[in-house]
Structure 1
Amino acid sequence: MKIGMPCDAFVSLQSVAVETILSISVVLLVVIGFPLGVVAQDLTLAPSPTAFVLPGAAELAATPVSLDVASLNNKAADEGFSAGVSTASIFTVAGTGDLGFAGDGALATRAHLWFVAAVAVDVEGNVFVADSFNNRIRRVDARTGMITTVAGVGYQGFSGDGDLATEAKLNSPGGVALDSRGNILIADTFNHRLRIVDHRTGIISTLVGSGIQGSNGDDGLAIRTQLSEPTGISVDPAGNILIADTGNHRIRLVEKATSLISTLAGTGTPGFSGDGGAGTGAQLNGPTAVAADGEGRVLIADTFNNRVRRLDIRTGRIATIAGTGEQGFGGDGALASKAELMEPSGVAVDAKGNILIADTFNNRIRQVDHLSGMITTVVGVGTRGSSGNGTRALSAELNNPAGLTQDALGNIVVADAGNHRVLRVIAGAQ
């Protein structure tokens, strides 16, 4: 199937043929407005060129580049991001905005990325980037601002288990997360696996998935199960791994203590149903992101249902907390359940329990207040584009934001996917 659209076309995934709408390959291509004539199922990416160091990298490395966010009037960590949203501004963490691969060993702001699908931040503030179409995971050092590849040789494929992650082949990784030890978890999307990089040795191995695309394996060992184009991944406070098993329209959990896998939500049949009932009896439609709120609940970006849903682990029940199911934009200042979303593909929870949503095709980041249930826009003016450093968050243009998270100070870190860059949104920045 060909994606027939110009680079700047605003195309809803709902217009794609039924048999491919739920393929994450189409998700990735359409989100960035991929050029006319690309074949989604048979996308073959040229190998990334050898990493090079930009001219003057040594001098650049010696230049202070990190923004002193601690000195800013940043109330986000204690009061939720909305406390400083009126004065929040955006700053580039990585990426020039030009697609491609370049820049390892130099400043991240001068590097080239190619479709940033997801981001994660460790306790030291280092940012990990799923540089999807470069088939790499890259790391931005919090102290120096330098970028390096930590997983992926740049060639699309599968190889490398048991060896250094930098020598392994990945296949369009769509998710990245960190466990409590600092190990890197990778949703190796088209390899239908979840892989892990040991933080001490740099060795990569498969943690979940046999590599065969399918849906079998519940209640067995995670390594033997079948996944279908997994994207979003998260780790709950107990160390269990949550997986958005996108092509299977399910949310799955790998128990830390036993390495057994089970389904938390989704029947495996795409559609919408089940609110108020058991998550395992509910229909999801291409979920692409998942997050735990620390109180025994799981948030799900139910992408093609234009909703965010919440599953209570204790009761097993699922409900919609944002989105009517109608595709569009509306509802700011009202209950989130009455709002319209457009294929949300990122979800996160802050320290207060507020829910952050990457409202992808509305080019906005929205927040649901944990007390009132009201939804507001916290980043993005709603038009597709690119804005520079220091732009007020509510005036900024985004280009199909995907994954998002928060750093230790409560600032939002966004995968600005269509702009091939990573942004930090700092509340209270002057």
Structure 2
Amino acid sequence: MTSSERMKVRAPELRGRRWLNTGGAELGLAELRGRIVVLDFWTFCCVNCLHALDELRVVEEEFGDVLTIIGVHSPKFVHEADPAAVEAAVERYGVEHPVLDDPELTTWDAYAARAWPTLAVIDPDGFVVARMAGEGHGPGLAALVRELIEQHGDRLRRGDGPYVPPPAPDTALRFPGKVVALPGGTYLVSDTAHHQLVELAADLETELRRVGDGDRGFVDGQATSARFSEPQGLLVLDASSVLVADTVNHAIRRVDLDAGTVSTLAGTGSQLRERVAPGSTATELSSPWDLARWDDRVVVAMAGSHQLWTLDPDTGTATVLAGTTNEGLRDGAFDEAFLAQPSGLAADGPVLWVADSEISALRRVVTDPEAGPQVGTAVGQGLFDFGHRDGPAAAALLQHPLGVAVLPDSSVAVADTYNGAVRRFDPSSGTVSTLAEGLAEPSDLLVDGETLIVVESAAHRLVRLPIPAGSLRGSPGGGSVGGGTLVDGTSHTVRRTPTGLGPGVALRIGFVPPAGQHLDDRFGDPTSLTVAADPPSLLRSGAGTSTGLTRELELDPAVGSGVLQVAVAAAACDSADGTAGTFAACHRYQQDWGIPVVVSGDGAATLELDLRSV
């Protein structure tokens, strides 16, 4: 049976809690018959999902006459199941197609999705003809749509799709991301969904100026006409210069506040698609999210590649500092550690603190190997465990934190975004407490005297909170709580149906290059497969990184259950046309899976995961 025959199955119906971006209408596959449909299974915490959204925008624009894209929002975190949070995320990320809110993972399970993001392609007759996991599928998806258009021809139903835009919002700021203090006593905030920067007076409300014309784009020049795309992190270089993590443009921009100009320091506007190891440089970046000065260098939280980079502000040279590009929680040396969507940075002398969002962790980075792991974990359990629990740091839980700041007593405040809280980690006692609750997705923190400025992103504002006396340097009444409270809240594990596997498992990754592309092995195998497990003892053999898309695994029945972590990458190149001097473009496809498994004697002997199957 060919892969196309295996994939041609009747598409299950779309079922969930409600529909967004349809004007209140309910959609079913019957109403979509005659159109090409792409289901995008996503969740708004996931940077890979945001990359896929950017890729889908291009495909939507080209084929909107015959193509309907439907987002199926299937949450990972508890907060992502909140109806208001889903609605806000659809607006925040500029989703301009219908979205099915699927909090119970009903449609996710019906389509046997295993990873965020996953694309399922449905032909005009209502059959699933392809499945693609991960990001990088934009060109291949476009090629497949062209094939389906040619195949179905006049039977296609053309015209506008079912998308109905929601009413336009009207607030001064829209989902602000990060904030810095400027030398003159004012503040600069990234007005992320407005694609601008805004200078605010000391009251955090009065606007003094805006940088950027407000349209999404990648344009240098005068501040009034420059364009950004969902800017996030900010770093003051000197009295007049600010660096900007221009996240969706995959670039670092420089703003000269005196001259009123914007220039590009690093990045090309295209996302990095290669695996770049610590110590190596690159001209392309991948979703830079925050910036900080540390150890006489500028550090970039490169959320899109799950790494930390450094940047030379004079030359724009970008170099990988730490992280292998594998998504996960693993401490160790810079070239061995795993991170997962680092999104917030704060330096305190020899220590760099990192809000590592996708593993709900606070990480500690040092340069002295004698001090222990160069990348360590202060708070956090891994990719699938989260919650709101204070107390000893080893047992404490966060939920997708995006910001971090060092308090005057060298304890660490964390913008615990999906818990709507500000948490405090005390390194001296190794404890976590809660400083504030009831906030709307706090995304950044800034210490300002005896107050803490909080970017309350989903409330579209900045607020001030008093820093508890116990966290002020030299103040009496300190201790492990530092003026906060101890919350013994709930703990959660990402909810997905476990896969039953036997002790011996043949892991097979399905990957079919798009039409017109091929795996180019002239310079070696263009694939990479990494396998690990949580707990590590689950995997008796088969762990590690090597080339190839297959692996024989041995699982330990005595351990019983756990999470099998699989990361794969493959590079496919356009077929050469034989013209002298013509170079074929290559495309990188990648995905990480966390597969909950139960090991038993009668479990499956094969685990098949599709990177791209048609």
Task: Check whether TM > 0.5.
Answer: yes
Structure 1 counterpart SS, 2:358 = helix
| Percentage identity across paired residues of the two chains | 28
Return closer, same or farther for 1:24/1:286 CA change in 2, 3 Å cut-off. Answer: farther
Matched, 1:289 2:347: no
Distance in 1, Cα, partners of 2:461 & 2:92: 22
1:214 is aligned, of 256, 269, 272, to: 272
Letter in 2 for 1:309: R
Matched, 1:116 2:157: no
Deviations 1:199-223 (A, max 9, x none): 321211111212221055779998x
How much does 1:41 deviate?
Answer: 7.6
Distance in 2, Cα, partners of 1:280 & 1:4: 44
Distance in 1, Cα, partners of 2:49 & 2:238: 28
How much does 1:137 deviate?
Answer: 0.6
1:399 is aligned, of 440, 447, 452, to: 440
Distance in 1, Cα, partners of 2:421 & 2:451: 16
Matched, 1:272 2:329: yes
Letter in 2 for 1:281: E
Residue 78 of structure 1 corresponds to which residue in structure 2? none
Deviations 1:107-165 (A, max 9, x none): xxxxx211011111224431211111111110112279521343110001111x2x222
Structure 2 counterpart SS, 1:117 = coil
Residue 35 of structure 1 corresponds to which residue in structure 2? 87
How much does 1:363 deviate?
Answer: 0.9
Mapping of residues 179-190 of structure 1, within 5 Å: 179-190=237-248
Deviations 1:23-78 (A, max 9, x none): 37389996972429949987469xxxxxxxxxxxxxxxxxxxxxxxxxxxxxxxxx
Return closer, same or farther for 1:248/1:286 CA change in 2, 3 Å cut-off. Answer: same
Residue 126 of structure 2 corresponds to which residue in structure 1? none
Distance in 1, Cα, partners of 2:96 & 2:48: 16
Q: Assess if the C-alpha contact under 8 Å between 2:200 and 2:209 holds in 1.
A: no
Structure 2 counterpart SS, 1:329 = strand
Distance in 2, Cα, partners of 1:301 & 1:33: 21
Distance in 2, Cα, partners of 1:291 & 1:226: 24
Return closer, same or farther for 1:177/1:337 CA change in 2, 3 Å cut-off. Answer: farther
CA RMSD of aligned residues (A): 3.7
Higher alpha-carbon Rg:
2
Structure 2 counterpart SS, 1:196 = strand
How much does 1:189 deviate?
Answer: 0.9
Question: 31-40 vs 243-252, which deviates more?
Answer: 31-40
Return closer, same or farther for 1:200/1:18 CA change in 2, 3 Å cut-off. Answer: closer
Distance in 1, Cα, partners of 2:269 & 2:380: 34
Residue 464 of structure 2 corresponds to which residue in structure 1? 424
Return closer, same or farther for 1:99/1:241 CA change in 2, 3 Å cut-off. Answer: farther
Q: Assess if the C-alpha contact under 8 Å between 2:187 and 2:204 holds in 1.
A: no
Distance in 1, Cα, partners of 2:324 & 2:222: 37
Q: Assess if the C-alpha contact under 8 Å between 1:411 and 1:425 holds in 2.
A: yes
Q: Assess if the C-alpha contact under 8 Å between 1:115 and 1:418 holds in 2.
A: yes
Mapping of residues 151-166 of structure 1, within 5 Å: 151-159=211-219, 161=220, 163-166=221-224
Residue 429 of structure 2 corresponds to which residue in structure 1? 372
How much does 1:306 deviate?
Answer: 1.2
Return closer, same or farther for 1:349/1:209 CA change in 2, 3 Å cut-off. Answer: same
Distance in 1, Cα, partners of 2:294 & 2:19: 40
Mapping of residues 94-105 of structure 1, within 5 Å: 100=169
Larger RCO, structure (CA 8 Å, separation 6 or more): 1
How much does 1:182 deviate?
Answer: 4.1
Return closer, same or farther for 1:371/1:194 CA change in 2, 3 Å cut-off. Answer: same
Letter in 2 for 1:300: V
- What's the TM-score once normalised by structure 1's chain length? 0.68
Q: Which structure 1 residue ranges, 5 or more long, are not aligned?
A: 8-14, 46-97, 103-111, 381-396
Matched, 1:199 2:257: yes
Mapping of residues 42-81 of structure 1, within 5 Å: 43=95
Residue 335 of structure 1 corresponds to which residue in structure 2? 392
Return closer, same or farther for 1:353/1:196 CA change in 2, 3 Å cut-off. Answer: same
Return closer, same or farther for 1:113/1:213 CA change in 2, 3 Å cut-off. Answer: same
Distance in 1, Cα, partners of 2:48 & 2:17: 16
Matched, 1:22 2:47: yes
Return closer, same or farther for 1:427/1:348 CA change in 2, 3 Å cut-off. Answer: closer
Distance in 2, Cα, partners of 1:137 & 1:285: 27
2:319 is aligned, of 255, 262, 270, to: 262
Return closer, same or farther for 1:149/1:123 CA change in 2, 3 Å cut-off. Answer: closer
Distance in 1, Cα, partners of 2:277 & 2:256: 26
Distance in 1, Cα, partners of 2:47 & 2:338: 14
Return closer, same or farther for 1:411/1:26 CA change in 2, 3 Å cut-off. Answer: farther
Return closer, same or farther for 1:142/1:374 CA change in 2, 3 Å cut-off. Answer: same
Return closer, same or farther for 1:36/1:141 CA change in 2, 3 Å cut-off. Answer: closer
Q: Assess if the C-alpha contact under 8 Å between 2:204 and 2:462 holds in 1.
A: no
Residue 301 of structure 2 corresponds to which residue in structure 1? 244
Return closer, same or farther for 1:182/1:370 CA change in 2, 3 Å cut-off. Answer: farther
Distance in 2, Cα, partners of 1:173 & 1:246: 13
Distance in 2, Cα, partners of 1:375 & 1:318: 19
Q: Assess if the C-alpha contact under 8 Å between 1:5 and 1:36 holds in 2.
A: no
Return closer, same or farther for 1:36/1:402 CA change in 2, 3 Å cut-off. Answer: closer
Matched, 1:133 2:173: no
Matched, 1:300 2:354: yes
Q: Assess if the C-alpha contact under 8 Å between 1:124 and 1:142 holds in 2.
A: no
Structure 2 counterpart SS, 1:279 = coil
Matched, 1:167 2:233: no
How much does 1:170 deviate?
Answer: 0.8
Letter in 1 for 2:230: S
Deviations 1:170-203 (A, max 9, x none): 1111222222334222111111101011132121
Distance in 1, Cα, partners of 2:417 & 2:90: 22
Which 4+ stretches in 1 moved above 6 angstroms? 3-7, 26-29, 39-42, 217-222
**Which protein has the bigger strand share?**
2
Distance in 1, Cα, partners of 2:185 & 2:347: 20
- What's the TM-score once normalised by structure 2's chain length? 0.49
Residue 507 of structure 2 corresponds to which residue in structure 1? none
How much does 1:16 deviate?
Answer: 6.1
Distance in 1, Cα, partners of 2:207 & 2:49: 27
